[in-house]
Amino acid sequence: MKILIRNVEILADHDLKHHIKNGFIGINGNKIDFIGEDPAEAAKFNPDRVINGTGKIAMPGIVNAHTHAAMTLLRNFANDLSLQDWLFNNVFPVEAKLNDEYVYWGTMLALGELIRSGVTAIADMYLHMDAVANAILESGMRANVCRIAFHFNKLGDEPIDQRDQCRQYFNTWNNAGDGRIKVYVEVHSTYTLEKWQLIKSAELAGELGTGIQIHLHETAREVKESLEAYNATPIEISKETGIFEVPVLAAHCVHVSENDMDILKEYNVNVVYNPTSNMKLGSGVAPVSRMLEKGINVALGTDGAASNNNLNMFEEMHLASLLQKGVLMNPEVMNASTVFKMATQNGAKAIGFENAAGILEKGRLADIILIDKSGLHLTPLNDPLAAVVYSAQGSDVDTVIVDGRILMENKVLRTIDEELVKYKVNKIAGELIPGQAD
Ligand code: NI
C-alpha cells in the first residue's frame, strides 16, 4: 500500500529548521519513502491512496511511554486519595477481580482514546498481558508491553515464580504484528519484590536480550522506606541488583537526588515523566529540567486512566512544560521544542524504537498524525511547535497512521468499534465496581 499525503504543513521533528510549510509525504508499506516540498517527486510516486493535507499539520505520532491501558476500567473510581491508600486499599482489590476479557475491553477502550488523541505507540504495564497484546495487535497500535517474572506480594500473597510464563510470553509476542510489539520484563517496583526477585528478573531480561519496565521513586515515602529497609534508594537497589544492566524504562523518578540522577545517566536509564498522575496523587514534581540538563532521556506518559483521569497526551505536554516553568519560576525551561521532542523522539527511544520512529524522515517507520489546524484556538497559528504543545487539544487530531496503516481518518476510528467498546466497558465496570458505573 502506497499513501501520499499532499499539501500538508510538516513538523518533521522538534527543530523548526525541518519545518515545511506546504509539502508531501510518501508512505510505502510501513516506511516513509520520501518527504519534501517538491511536487515533481510527489507526481512520480503513483500512490494507491491520496490524503489531502490542506489545513493540517503532519507530525510524528505521539508516544505515551508509561501507561496501564486497561485501568480505563477504573476511571473516576477512588479519587483524592494518597498513592498508598489509592493503590493498596482501592485499586488492588478491584484488580483482583479482573480477567482476560475485562482487560481486553479496557485496553481496547484505552487504545481508542489514545489513537483519537494522536498516540501511535505506548508502553504498557498491566495484568492479563496476553489480552493486552491481542488488543494491541488488533488495533494496529505500536507498543512495548511487559510481563511479571514473579507474582508480587501486594496483598500478602505467596510469591509465585512465573519466569517460565514470562519466557513464554516473550516468545509468543516479541516482534509480533510485523515488529509492532516489543516485550520487556515487568518489575513493578523495588517495594513489591524481594531483592533476590529483582536480581532474577534482571537476569531473565538479560537472558531474553530485552529490557525492563519499572516504577522508580514515585513518592517520597517509597524512597524513605527503601532507605530505612536497605539503606539504599530504589535507584541504588536497581543498580545493585543488575536491573540497570539491561535497557530500562523507569516511570516517575520524582524524588531523586543528584546521585540518583547520576546513576540514571551512567546506565542510560530512560525516564518517563507523568505530570498529571504525579500531581493527582500528590506525589510531587520530578526535576525534569535537571535530568534533561544531565543528558538523561526523558519521555512523557499519562500513567493509567485511574490516576489521571484520561489518556490525553496533549494535556501531558501542556502540563509537563507549565509545571516545570512554574516550580522553577523560569519561563525559559522546558520550551515547546523540548516538550515536543520528549513526546515523540525521546518516547520512541525510551520504548525501544530508537532510530525507527519518533521523527518523520525517509526510511523511518510511518507513524504519522495529522492535526486539524482550523480551530479558533489554533488561529492564528504562528509558531507551529508552540501551537502543538500549548494550544492544541487531543480532539484536534484528525488522522492517525501507524506502521503505514490508517487507524483513524477524518476523526473516524478504522480498527476499533467505539460503540461496542463503550457498551462492553460500561457493562464490565458495573460488575467490577457495583453501584458506581452504569
Ligand atoms: Ni504506573
- Please spell the DSSP secondary structure of 356-414, one letter per residue: TSSS--TTSB--EEEEE--SGGG-S--SHHHIIIII--GGGEEEEEETTEEEEETTEES
Burial 62-91, CB ≥16 within 10 A → b, else e: bbbbbbbbbbbbbbebbeebebeebbeebb
Q: Render pLDDT for 316-335 as a digit per residue (tens, 0 to 9).
A: 999 999 999 999 999 999 99
Report, in this order, helix, strand and coil percent for the chain, each rounded to 5.
45, 25, 35
Average pLDDT of the residues in 226-238: 97
Residue 355's pLDDT band (cuts 50, 70, 90) = confident
Q: Is the pLDDT of residue 153 over 70?
A: no
Q: Give residue 434's pLDDT.
A: 73
- The pLDDT value recorded for residue 210 is 98
Separation of CA 294 and ligand 1 centre (Å): 24
Distance (Å, whole) CA 45 – CA 30:
15
For ligand 1, the distance from its centroid to the CA atom of residue 77, given in whole angstroms, is 16
Count of beta carbons in the 10 Å neighbourhood of residue 420:
11
- The pLDDT assigned to 265 comes to 98
Note the pLDDT tens digit of each residue in 54-82: 999 999 999 999 999 999 999 999 889 98
| Verdict on whether the full-model pTM lies above 0.95 | yes
Q: How far is the CA of 317 from the centre of ligand 1 (A)?
A: 18
Q: For residue 309, how many other CB atoms are within 10 A of its CB?
A: 19
pLDDT at 437 over 60: no
> How remote is the CA of residue 66 from the centroid of ligand 1, in Å?
6
Q: Which residues keep their CB under 5 angstroms from ion ligand 1?
A: 303
**Could you tell me the distance, in angstroms and rounded to a whole number, from the CA of residue 60 to the centre of ligand 1?**
24
- How much distance in Å is there from the Cα of 108 to the middle of ligand 1? 18
Mean pLDDT for the stretch of residues 232-239: 98
pLDDT band per the 50, 70, 90 thresholds, residue 296: very high
Give the mean model confidence (pLDDT) for residues 200-218. Answer: 98
Across residues 251-263, what is the average pLDDT? 98
pLDDT of residue 88: 86
Per the DSSP assignment, residues forming a β-bridge with 153 are none
Distance CA(247)–CA(116), nearest Å, equals 30
- The C-alpha atoms of residue 413 and residue 138 are separated, in whole angstroms, by 13
pLDDT averaged over every residue in the chain: 95
Distance 379 CA to ligand 1 centre (A): 36
Grid cell at residue 301? 506518559
Q: What percent of the chain has pLDDT over 70?
A: 97
- Is 272:300 a contact under the CB 8 Å cutoff? yes
Q: For 214, how many CA atoms within 13 A lie in the half-sphere containing its CB?
A: 31
Ligand 1 centre distance from Cα of residue 401 (Å): 26
Residue 216 alpha carbon to ligand 1 centre in Å: 10
In this structure, what DSSP letter does residue 158 have?
Answer: P
Ligand 1 centroid distance, CA of 376 (Å)? 35
